[in-house]
Structure 1
Amino acid sequence: MNRSNEGTPDRSIVSGSDFLHMAIDEAPSGGKSEWLAQQIRLALADRRLPVGSRLPATRVLAGELGVSRGVVTEAYQRLVEDGYVAGRGRNGTIVVSAPATTTAAKPPTPASPSSRRSVFTTEPGADVFDAIRTTRARIDFSPGLPDLAAFPRAAWLRAERLVLDRLATSDLGYGDPRGTPALRMAIANWIARNRGIRAVPDEILIVAGTAQTLTLVGQVLRGDGISTVAIEDPGSLGARQHLHNCQLDTPPVAVDSEGIRVDELRATGAAAVFLTPAHQFPTGVVLRGSRRSELTHWASKSGGLIIEDDYDAEHRYDRPPVPALRSMLADSVFYAGSVSKLLAPALRIGWILAPPKYRDGLVDAKRFADLGNATLPQLVLAHFMESGALERQLRHLRRQHRRRRDTMVKAVAAHLPGAIVHGAAAGLHLTITFEAGFADTDVAAAALARDVKVHPLSWHCQLPRKPGLVLGYAATPTTDISEGVATLGEVLRRMS
């Protein structure tokens, strides 16, 4: 699912007058730039300068301190090289990360299920997380971002006009909370053709994307006495946060080259598990047939439930996608799909197929959540699916994404020679890992200071892992991909 773009940073100007109450007279005569940079580092470390704040203009601060502008410019450049601040043109110089505090470093661990706070709110590295999450960058390799410029505006507008022309007055009222019959029929046909799932419209519930799927499923599972949903490791941070928000524990289960370790899943004692089997996020592994058989055995013997996030299964470039788990285990699988990666997240349209036991409970939860999705976009999407327009869009995206993925793989080979590329030729991202002993969060912070945004692999891990990066390519032109990966190479060389 997923998987990140919330909010914008607080960029209020830090006043140049009495900035940090610094006394320039304390600076050594020949080292004023380093003294100034160190004073700002200390302010970053003790949070007097929070991530997202803006430093005074070099001219303003130089005037306040009574030094040359070159002293301030050099100090700021040292902070840029450290990865703590980044120049943002007219927006000034922005704090994008902070030095580690005296607290001993440790990998991020999830908050307790009773907590509503972010997984990273109180952990070391929280400032890096917030900076990367909220700061825009010229080259954005965030995973899960589709190419919004590829949205078929003209075709969508034609479909919308056609739907409005044919719309009955009664269709403008409150509809079925499960979704419009037209869209549920179109989805039944779509998943039969593309995912090997046999379903009738009455089995399908329309939701506002995979995020709402997790909220509703979490609600009905809690109501059934289930308090634990195991999650792949590495696995989607966003999914983990949504499950925590439903007051569910998420014990990690390791993923290897064949997919989730079912023996380790069994050892957790969890009654349910969240999976991305067609193209595992973030490793890109496709769940092997032997593991599918083990999952079937686990579900049938223990009554275990599977939440299957089929978030980008259609985006396969070298062979047809593997069938969905739902096609094998209809009575054990909550199947989640959406058009966020095919069209745009802004549509907020997805779907759930639930095991029969939970179907009515999910419909009730959806009804009380929002009375159902907006009708007009559902009808337009139904026409889009049945007319063949969505198939044409998928074919176009596959060609484009394959070119961009190939470009990124070549750029990684050229500029990151020690990196190992993981996963199948599929999806909207790839993951790379390194043997070197550095913190991938430091790499991400330094890259952001150079206007390149990436996800550290450690964000998506609860278990110890080699450092790595998760790189989305779907929304980035090939020239920017090459430039961005080259910048990552420069960052790593500076750190070595």
Structure 2
Amino acid sequence: MTVSQTNFAWATLLEVGPADGGRRRLHDRLARALRTAIRDGRLAEGAAVPPSRALAEELGCSRWVVTEAYGQLVAEGYLCARVGSATRVSWSPDTAQPRSRATRAPARPPIRYDLAPGLPDLRAFPRRRWTDAVRAVTGSAVHYDLGLPDPAGHAELRTTLAQYLRRSRGADAHDGSVSVCASVTDGLVRTCRALRAEGIADLAVEDPGWGRLRDAATSAGLRVHLVPVDQDGLRVDDLAGTPARAVVVGAAHQFPTGTVLSPARRARLVRWAREVDGFVVEDDYDAEFRYDRHPVAVMQGMDPGRVFLLGSVSKTLSPALGLGWSVAPASMTPVLRAANPVAAAPPVLDQLALATFIDRGWYDAHLRAARRRFRTRRDLLVRTLGEQVPQGRVAGTAAGLHILLHLPDDTDTAGAVRAAAAAGLRLADLDDYRTNRPAERALVLGYGNIGDTEIPPAVTLLSEALRTPTASRAGAAP
């Protein structure tokens, strides 16, 4: 039973009813009203009913009426009274009428190991320093910081982000061009609305790519066109065959292939944007994690008048913080904000906490530690895959928090994902991220949110899933 002093049933509507010609006494009517509230679920199991004196004052009756009603419900099993504690509800429809075995939904097997992409190491979230940052800004925030937030974001965080992006990502950013948002997806929705307001109705996206980016574009009213990706990134020449005047690209680390947009294609993409009087939307989602070569600067620095830059802390700290940013071309900043008049900025204290976290050097320290940890984990995953899944070929290992595991063409990757899930292992099929599905089979394996000691048993389950009859297609012709 839940015991919570915040769970008092003070505001529950009790329909005590009229006197009924004296045939039902007040304490009987009160007991019936409480019993009905409990049976209807308005008073949940564990909820504390008000003290008898307080309820009597509320109802304008004697305390004896309330104690008699409570006593009746205790005798019936609806309430539980303990000395020194509040009287609480001890009955619920679920405990009184358990569902039959035939109607109970089958339980899903628990996920023991998570090799799906999309999350950082949530175990390593810097709780103490983030708490210190929140405590510091809560104590130092001036009174007007506690009012309605600026839709563009707090000026202090916008200044801090502009400085950080200039020194760490080579961006051409200043506080006037930075807007604070909740995530990359949120930033893309706002950007797409601004593009639509400028008369741009068609947007190109990478294939394969993150499905939520396509959803964000269509939700803003844009038509989406798919452009393939190869070993050098987005095939820029294929853009000419679409009516798009804007394109979303993961230049530093494409998801899910892990490719880096080559220098020649970067330059070609910027020229394309100028030729069509359009824009590039750069998704810089996990560029902080590079292991085998130096970080690649953002495209936005090449032409800040044609490139939007989107980023967040979802892959570096946690998506639970709901903090991201966009850097817009100067000509589009007023359009961006006018096209999103009701877009809500993240909570001000959280914004100030992130600014403090960055300004004190804690963010850089966290990233340095994370890079060392992820490099070690990536090496362990690649080595273990080589030992237990020798038929696989690993790619996209140089950066980010995921790799591709290419498998023989006769592998049923969807069947392997289902078999792994039944064994408690979460995987992702490359087919889930692409519209055009060639014969090439591959799994997208994330290593951000899994412990080092969990990798060997997780790969063992993966190997077993690939050996299931459906996944291995043992009857396929050689």
Calculate the TM-score normalised by the size of structure 2: 0.75
Alpha carbons 1:285, 1:424 under 8 Å: kept: no
Residue in 2 aligned with 1:401?
374
1:414 and 2:387 matched? yes
Residue in 2 aligned with 1:482?
456
Residue in 2 aligned with 1:121?
none
Residue in 2 aligned with 1:374?
347
What CA distance in whole angstroms lies between the structure 1 residues aligned with 2:277 and 2:387?
Answer: 49
Residue in 2 aligned with 1:322?
296
Q: Secondary structure at the match of 1:253?
A: strand
Tell me how far 1:14 sits from its aligned partner: 8.7
What CA distance in whole angstroms lies between the structure 2 residues aligned with 1:170 and 1:280?
Answer: 41
Q: Secondary structure at the match of 1:251?
A: strand
Deviations 1:207-233 (A, max 9, x none): 011121121112222222322211111
Tell me how far 1:15 sits from its aligned partner: 5.0
The structure 1 residue matched to 2:132, chosen from 158, 162, 169, is 158
What CA distance in whole angstroms lies between the structure 1 residues aligned with 2:232 and 2:269?
Answer: 13
What CA distance in whole angstroms lies between the structure 2 residues aligned with 1:271 and 1:151?
Answer: 39
Deviations 1:329-348 (A, max 9, x none): 21111110111111111111
Q: Secondary structure at the match of 1:356?
A: coil
Tell me how far 1:424 sits from its aligned partner: 4.2
Residue in 2 aligned with 1:451?
424
Alpha carbons 1:252, 1:463 under 8 Å: kept: no
What CA distance in whole angstroms lies between the structure 2 residues aligned with 1:330 and 1:464?
Answer: 35
Q: Secondary structure at the match of 1:468?
A: strand
Unaligned runs of 5+ in 2: 1-97, 473-478
What CA distance in whole angstroms lies between the structure 2 residues aligned with 1:469 and 1:147?
Answer: 20
Residue in 1 aligned with 2:195?
221
Deviations 1:125-178 (A, max 9, x none): xxxxxxxxxx86111112121111111111111122221222111111123211
Deviations 1:369-424 (A, max 9, x none): 22x22110111110111110000000010011111111111122112212221224
The runs of 4+ residues in structure 1 deviating greater than 6 Å are none
The structure 2 residue matched to 1:334, chosen from 302, 308, 311, is 308
Residue in 2 aligned with 1:202?
176
What CA distance in whole angstroms lies between the structure 2 residues aligned with 1:243 and 1:473?
Answer: 28
Residue in 2 aligned with 1:435?
408
Tell me how far 1:293 sits from its aligned partner: 1.5
1:212 and 2:186 matched? yes
What CA distance in whole angstroms lies between the structure 1 residues aligned with 2:422 and 2:110?
Answer: 11
Alpha carbons 2:172, 2:304 under 8 Å: kept: no
Q: Secondary structure at the match of 1:400?
A: helix
What CA distance in whole angstroms lies between the structure 1 residues aligned with 2:133 and 2:194?
Answer: 36
Give the aligned residue type for 2:416. V
Give the aligned residue type for 2:454. D
Alpha carbons 2:193, 2:340 under 8 Å: kept: no
Alpha carbons 2:246, 2:279 under 8 Å: kept: yes
Residue in 2 aligned with 1:391?
364
Tell me how far 1:191 sits from its aligned partner: 0.5
Compared with structure 1, are the counterparts of its residues 421 and 190 closer, same or farther at alpha carbon in structure 2 (3 Å cutoff)? Answer: same
Calculate the TM-score normalised by the size of structure 1: 0.72
The structure with higher relative contact order (CA 8 Å, sep 6+) is: 1
Alpha carbons 1:215, 1:246 under 8 Å: kept: yes
Q: Secondary structure at the match of 2:354?
A: helix
Q: Secondary structure at the match of 2:394?
A: strand
What CA distance in whole angstroms lies between the structure 1 residues aligned with 2:460 and 2:223?
Answer: 40
What CA distance in whole angstroms lies between the structure 2 residues aligned with 1:295 and 1:273?
Answer: 9
Alpha carbons 2:402, 2:447 under 8 Å: kept: yes
Unaligned runs of 5+ in 1: 1-12, 20-52, 56-91, 95-134
What CA distance in whole angstroms lies between the structure 1 residues aligned with 2:346 and 2:338?
Answer: 14
Residue in 2 aligned with 1:230?
204
Q: Secondary structure at the match of 1:368?
A: coil
Q: Secondary structure at the match of 1:157?
A: helix
What CA distance in whole angstroms lies between the structure 2 residues aligned with 1:403 and 1:463?
Answer: 34
Give the aligned residue type for 1:471. L
Segment drifting more, 272-281 vs 474-483? 474-483
The structure with more radius of gyration:
2
The structure 2 residue matched to 1:54, chosen from 77, 100, 105, is 105
Alpha carbons 2:313, 2:323 under 8 Å: kept: yes
Q: Secondary structure at the match of 2:308?
A: strand
What CA distance in whole angstroms lies between the structure 2 residues aligned with 1:454 and 1:320?
Answer: 29
Alpha carbons 2:249, 2:281 under 8 Å: kept: yes
Tell me how far 1:239 sits from its aligned partner: 1.3
Compared with structure 1, are the counterparts of its residues 300 and 14 closer, same or farther at alpha carbon in structure 2 (3 Å cutoff)? Answer: farther
Compared with structure 1, are the counterparts of its residues 365 and 196 closer, same or farther at alpha carbon in structure 2 (3 Å cutoff)? Answer: same
Q: Secondary structure at the match of 1:250?
A: strand
The structure 2 residue matched to 1:143, chosen from 105, 109, 117, is 117
What CA distance in whole angstroms lies between the structure 2 residues aligned with 1:347 and 1:469?
Answer: 29
Give the aligned residue type for 1:242. A
Tell me how far 1:16 sits from its aligned partner: 4.4
Alignment of 1:75-474 (within 5 A): 92=107, 94=108, 137-370=111-344, 372-465=345-438, 466-474=440-448
What CA distance in whole angstroms lies between the structure 2 residues aligned with 1:486 and 1:317?
Answer: 26
What CA distance in whole angstroms lies between the structure 2 residues aligned with 1:193 and 1:312?
Answer: 16
Alpha carbon RMSD of aligned pairs, Å? 1.8
Q: How many residues align?
A: 372
What CA distance in whole angstroms lies between the structure 2 residues aligned with 1:375 and 1:249?
Answer: 34
What CA distance in whole angstroms lies between the structure 1 residues aligned with 2:375 and 2:407?
Answer: 24
Alpha carbons 2:197, 2:339 under 8 Å: kept: no
Compared with structure 1, are the counterparts of its residues 440 and 225 closer, same or farther at alpha carbon in structure 2 (3 Å cutoff)? Answer: farther
Percent identity between matched residues is 38
Compared with structure 1, are the counterparts of its residues 327 and 302 closer, same or farther at alpha carbon in structure 2 (3 Å cutoff)? Answer: same
Alignment of 1:18-57 (within 5 A): 54-55=105-106
Deviations 1:459-492 (A, max 9, x none): 1101123121111101101221221122111111
Compared with structure 1, are the counterparts of its residues 357 and 14 closer, same or farther at alpha carbon in structure 2 (3 Å cutoff)? Answer: farther
Segment drifting more, 240-249 vs 188-197? 240-249
Give the aligned residue type for 1:169. H
